Amino acid sequence: MEAEYTGDVMTLNMGPQHPSTHGVLRLELKTDGEVVAEAIPHIGYLHRCFEKHAENIEYPGVVPFTDRMDYCAAMNMELGYVLAVEKLMGIEVNNRVRCIRIIMAELNRIASHLIAAGTYGNDMGSFTPFLWCFRDRETILDIFEETCGARLLYNYNWIGGLMCDVLPGFEKRVIDFIDYFEPQVDNLNKLLSDNYIFIKRTANVGIMPPELAINYGVTGPNLRGSGIKFDVRKDEPYLGYEEYDFDVAIGRGEHGPIGSCWDRYMVRIREVKESCKIVRQAVAKMTPGDVQESIPKRIKPAAGEVYHRTECPRGELGYYIVSDGSLKPYRVKVKSPCFTVMGAFRKISRGAMIADIIAILGSVDVVLGEIDR
């Protein structure tokens, strides 16, 4: 670790191997005593040239690469890509595919938020919620595993359909899990969310005012934590989300100014409950059908371009795809939600204490694989 002394300001490197940077992120802290005058994020340690790779692979081959961006929510990453290509080609999928996609995306959202909440508790010094969250997430991964064979990186959403249909008894397993899981959320609230120490550590820290959030392009739970009711599933629905009855969870500032770390954390907990509601409705809407009937023989979109965005657990994931009429995409640009929120990190962490940097970083819930791509 390099440190240089310039007057009263000391430069301190946090990361890239610091456990609470949630991956390989380096924060260059300019510290004045315990106060952080500036926290400058340095990213790129996990850069795997996704956009360059995508130029050299045919459209269906890009899907497994998208999995590897946000490995905590791979279903949502694939979903964004396949929906963008389907929009470019004008493919309509049947009701069964739509319902299964929604169930998978929402289950993955729950799993992802469980990681966010569990590791955040761990960062704040509370270990048991971490174990509880990972225990419940395990059931979701089991459901994914029996459906597509993989626990983390699925390649399940294909352009025009799905890799395979779900197994018989899938609906019952999902509903059983939701029945079991919904009361667990309240238990987690009792243990962590309403915990006095946890609130003290997070409620007055890392305030993100709504104007700053919009100006810096922050999306998803971080934006809603600042009290802005915006959700792509409601405001620009895809896959028929407009037919589902659910609320958009926002931060309400119960324990301090709105837009604090606690608000951002709490939005995720509230969203998990909404996801349970969506999953129940999607299971009820499922109809028989062939999940591969719309998969084109040749995936070769006409020349053109498309921008499509979906609501991922970490915010709004956008794909800007340019086609030149060949079998390979000419350009795939990913607008990553974690990337934009990391751009705002320097603003919201200015003047915080060193220990609060951990609280702020955990509350924005970034996955470095998606930032660096």
Partner 1 sequence: MKPDEIAALLGAQFGAKILESKPSPLSPWSVVDPAEILPVCRFLRDDERLRMDHLECLAGVDYKDRIEVVYVLYSMTHRHRYALKCLLPRESARLNSVESIWGAANWHEREAYDLLGIVFEGHSDLRRILLPDDWEGHPLRRDYKFPTSYRDMPV
User: Which residues contact partner 1 (rule: CB under 8 A)?
Assistant: 43-44, 47, 49, 51-52, 55, 87-88, 212, 214-217, 228, 230, 235-236, 304-307, 309, 316, 318, 320, 322, 330-331, 333, 335, 339-340, 342-344, 347, 372-373
d(CA 190, CA 278): 24
Of 42, 82, 44, nearest to 62 by C-alpha is 82
To partner 1, the closest distance from the beta carbon of 48 in angstroms equals: 10
Least distance in angstroms from the C-beta of 82 to partner 1: 17
The b-or-e profile of 323-358 (16+ CB within 10 A means b, else e) is beeeebbeebebbbbbbbbbebbeebbeebeeebbb
Nearer to partner 1 among residue 182 and residue 236 (C-beta): 236
Nearest CB to partner 1, comparing residues 210 and 289? 210
The CA-based angle 87-89-91, given to 5 degrees, is: 70
322/353 with CB nearer partner 1 = 322
Supply the minimum distance, in Å, between the C-beta of residue 183 and partner 1.
Answer: 36
Instruction: Indicate the Cα dihedral angle 45, 334, 249, 104, nearest 10°.
Output: -90
With both helix axes pointing from N to C terminus, report the angle between 337-348 and 354-364 in degrees, rounded to the nearest 10: 150
Q: Name the residue nearer to partner 1 (CB basis): 248 or 353.
A: 248
Rounded to the nearest whole angstrom, what is the least distance from the CB of residue 76 to partner 1 in the complex?
17
Nearer to partner 1, 170 or 230 (CB): 230
201: tokens are 């550590």
Q: For residues 59 and 45, what is the distance between their CA atoms, to the nearest angstrom?
A: 27
Q: How are strands ordered across the β-sheet holding 9-14?
A: 5-6, 9-14, 26-32, 35-42
Residue 28 or residue 171: which is nearer to partner 1 going by CB? 28
Instruction: Give the shortest CB-71-to-partner 1 separation in angstroms.
Output: 18
Question: CB 324 → partner 1: shortest distance, Å?
Answer: 9
Residue 103 vs 208, nearer CB to partner 1? 208
Can you read off the two tokens belonging to residue 16?
């890239």
Residue 7 DSSP one-character state: T
> In the bound complex, what is the minimum distance in angstroms from residue 305's beta carbon to partner 1?
6
Q: Is there a contact between 243 and 226 (Cβ–Cβ < 8 Å)?
A: no
